[in-house]
Amino acid sequence: MSGFHQLPSEPEPYWRESITLESFPKLNDHIETDVAIVGGGIVGITTAYLLSQQGLRVTILEAGKLANGTTGHTTAKITAQHGLIYNEFIEHFGVEKAKMYYEANEQAKHFIESIVSKHHVDCQLKKQDAYVYTNADDYMNKLEKEWDAYQKLRIPSEFVHDIPVPVKVKAAIIMKNQAQFHPLQYLSKLIEDVKSNGHIFEQTTVIDLEEGERPIVITEDGYKVSSKYVIAASHFPFKDGRNLFFSRLYPYRSYIVGVKIKDDYPGGMYINAEKPSRSLRSAGKDDRLVLVSGEEHKTGQGISTLKHYEALETYAKKVFEVESIPYRWSAQDYTTSDKMPYVGQISERHENVFVATGFRKWGMTNSTNAALLLTDLITNKANPYVDLFSPSRFVANPSVKKIVKENVDVAAQFVKGKLDNVTRTPDDLALDEGAPVHVNGKRCGGYKDKEGNVTLVDTTCTHMYCEVEWNSGDRTWDCPCHGSRFSIEGEVIEGPAKKPLAKIE
Q: What is the pLDDT of residue 347?
A: 76
436 domain-assigned: yes
448 domain-assigned: yes
Given CA atoms 44, 45, 49, 55 in this order, what sign does their dihedral have?
Answer: positive
421 HSE (CA, 13 A, CB side): 0
70 domain-assigned: yes
Q: Report the alpha-carbon distance of residue 208 to residue 224 in Å, rounded.
A: 10
For every residue of 344-407, DSSP letters joined together read: EEEETTEEEEEEEE--TT-HHHHHHHHHHHHHHHHTT---TTTTTT-TT---HHHHHHHHHHHH
Q: What is the pLDDT of residue 68?
A: 87
Q: What is the pLDDT of residue 88?
A: 95
Residues 68-89 have a mean pLDDT of: 93
> Both 465 and 359 in a single domain?
no
Each residue's pLDDT tens digit, 120-173: 999 999 999 999 999 999 999 999 999 999 999 999 999 999 999 999 999 999
> Both 427 and 496 in a single domain?
yes
Residues 1-27 have a mean pLDDT of: 73
Q: Among residues 355, 380, 395, which one ends one of the domains?
A: 395
115 domain-assigned: no
285 domain-assigned: no
Domain CATH for 201: 3.50.50.60
> Both 243 and 343 in a single domain?
yes
Q: What is the pLDDT of residue 410?
A: 46
Q: Check if the beta carbon of residue 114 is closer than 8 Å to that of residue 53.
A: no
Residues 301-317 have a mean pLDDT of: 87
370 domain-assigned: yes
322 domain-assigned: no
Strand partners, 127: 179
CA 1 to each of CA 4, 5, 314: distance values in angstroms, whole numbers, following the listed order? 9, 8, 11
Q: What is the pLDDT of residue 247?
A: 60
Between strands 171-180 and 476-478, the pairing is: unpaired
- Give the lowest-confidence range in 193-207, 372-386, 460-474: 460-474
Confidence check: pLDDT of 190 > 70: yes
Domain extent for 443: 420-504
Q: What is the pLDDT of residue 256?
A: 95
- Give the lowest-confidence range in 9-18, 75-84, 285-294, 336-345: 9-18
For every residue of 54-82, DSSP letters joined together read: TT--EEEE-SSSTT-STGGGS--EE-S--
Global pTM? Answer: 0.86
- Give the lowest-confidence range in 203-207, 270-274, 465-469: 465-469
CA 290 to each of CA 83, 134, 204, 218: distance values in angstroms, whole numbers, following the listed order? 19, 20, 34, 42
Output the average pLDDT for the chain: 88
Q: What is the pLDDT of residue 318?
A: 96
Q: What are phi and psi of 335, to 5 degrees?
A: -115, 140
Q: What is the pLDDT of residue 58?
A: 98
Q: Report the alpha-carbon distance of residue 246 to residue 242 in Å, rounded.
A: 10
> Both 386 and 424 in a single domain?
no
Residues 405-414 have a mean pLDDT of: 48
Helix boundaries (H) for 391-503: 396-419
Each residue's pLDDT tens digit, 214-242: 999 999 999 999 999 999 998 777 665 55
Confidence check: pLDDT of 404 > 60: no
Confidence check: pLDDT of 395 > 70: no
Domain CATH for 445: 2.102.10.10
Q: What is the pLDDT of residue 420?
A: 64
Each residue's pLDDT tens digit, 410-466: 444 544 555 466 778 888 888 888 888 888 878 888 898 888 888 999 888 888 778
**With DSSP H G I counted as helix, E B as strand and the rest as coil, what are the percentages for the chain, rounded to 5?**
30, 30, 40
238 domain-assigned: yes
